[in-house]
Structures are given as C-alpha cells and as structure tokens.
Chains A and B, each alone.
Chain A
Amino acid sequence: AQKVTQAQTEISVVEKEDVTLDCVYETRDTTYYLFWYKQPPSGELVFLIRRNSFDEQNEISGRYSWNFQKSTSSFNFTITASQVVDSAVYFCALSEADSGYALNFGKGTSLLVTP
C-alpha cells in the first residue's frame, strides 16, 4: 500500500503566484518523520524540511511554509510568490520509527514556474 500520496503530478504557475503542493500519508506508527525534498534538473535531492509526528507546529522559512495536520494525515507545502528557480520536482517522504532511516517517497509533483 502506498504510504505517501502526492496527487498532483504536475503543476504549472506563473511567477509570483502562490502554489500549494499536497501530501497525504498513511502510517500506523505513532512516531514518524515527514520530509520534503526538492529535485532540480541536476538530479540531486535537496532537503527542505523534516517534521516529527509530535510536532504539529506549522513552519515558515522565507517563501516556503508547511502545514502539518495529523487529523487529516497531511503535510502540505506552500510556496509564496513563486519564482522560476522554484521549478523542480518536489517529493514528500515518510520515515517510520521502526524502519531506521528508510524513506517512503511519494511519486513527486513537478512544478513549473513560468515568467
């Protein structure tokens, strides 16, 4: 069973628009970690954020913000005032307490920001 679902396969926005990337996860563990990674065309996965299951506080980092809601098993990512450099594939991932550091990735959302 897929543990991380990113329903949006591709999103296209015009620069300066706000965009939200959705992530829904499934786990029976009470202790788990959620991640977002960015993969630009170069291929390297760039770490954006990690959240543990006990911390539902939303986070803002510059133009990026994350909304973690355990009640809906969602961990959504919003980019405010998008820029062309934000164009990339974004992955949401889940790590469960009994799986060491193994990550279950979603299929990714390809974001294209046009001028």
Chain B
Amino acid sequence: KAGVTQTPRYLIKTRGQQVTLSCSPISGHRSVSWYQQTPGQGLQFLFEYFSETQRNKGNFPGRFSGRQFSNSRSEMNVSTLELGDSALYLCASSELQGTSWEQYFGPGTRLTVT
C-alpha cells in the first residue's frame, strides 16, 4: 500500500494570505486527522474528518478549516495567515481494523509565514 502523501512539502506565504494544504490517505482509510507542530506548543490536534464529515475539532480559531472529499482526500485551509501559523502540518490516515485501528502519518507540510 502507498503511504500517506501530503502536498506541498514546503510552502512560504506572506502574512494575511491564505493557504491550502492537501492530504491523501492510505487507500481504504476513511479518516483523516490534521495536526500542527510548533516548537512552543508541540503537536496539537486540529480536526478529524471521517467519511466527509468533521467528527472532532481541536482548539483552533475559525481561520483554520478543512474538508474531506468522497475519495477520502482532505484539504486544510488557513485564512489570513499570521506569523504564528508557521509550523509543520501533519496529517494522519486512520481506519478501524477489526477491534483495533491503525493510524499512520504523512511526511508533513512545512509552512513558513513571513
């Protein structure tokens, strides 16, 4: 199976702009979660989508939004970028397997806001 892919891998944006990040989960996985990683706050959960519906949301402002398509691919959007949005954005692909579940992360998108 192919792993989780994220595009782009690196991105530089200017304060005030908006950005869209993409995540393609492992084939057959219906859940995609997004995380933000910064040196100060560590790894923080943004939101999770399951079968095109947002199932959980972390404590982030409304500038952060996402969606999931029928093929399970997900996009994350950040509007009105701030310097503090500079981070590594990771997505995770998950699926229930019997009584357990597996979750794998993509390589991340490193966003720099100048």
Contacts and interface: CB of A to CB of B under 8 A. Distances in A.
Interface in B53-109: 55-56, 58, 88, 90, 92, 94, 100-108
Contact of A108 (B31, B42, B55, B106): B42
B42 A101 contact: no
A105 B58 CA distance: 13
A16 B11 CA distance: 40
A45 B100 contact: no
B45 A104 contact: yes
Contact of A102 (B45, B105, B107): B45
A44 B105 contact: yes
A61 to B, nearest CB: 16
Interface string B37-51: 000001111001010
B103 A100 contact: no
Given A47-B103, A50-B100, A91-B43, A100 B90 contact: no
B38 to A, nearest CB: 11
B110 A102 contact: no
Contacts of B42: 105-108
B22 interface: no
B33 A103 contact: yes
Given A43-B88, A91-B43, A107-B42, A101 B106 contact: no
A57 B78 CA distance: 42
Nearest to A54: B99
Q: Which of A37, A44, A93 has the most CB of B within 10 A?
A: A44
A103 B45 contact: yes
By Cβ-Cβ distance, the 5 closest A-B pairs, closest first, are A105-B43, A45-B105, A101-B94, A100-B55, A100-B56
12 contacts: A43-B88, A45-B105, A47-B102, A93-B43, A101-B33, A101-B92, A101-B101, A103-B35, A103-B43, A103-B45, A103-B103, A105-B42
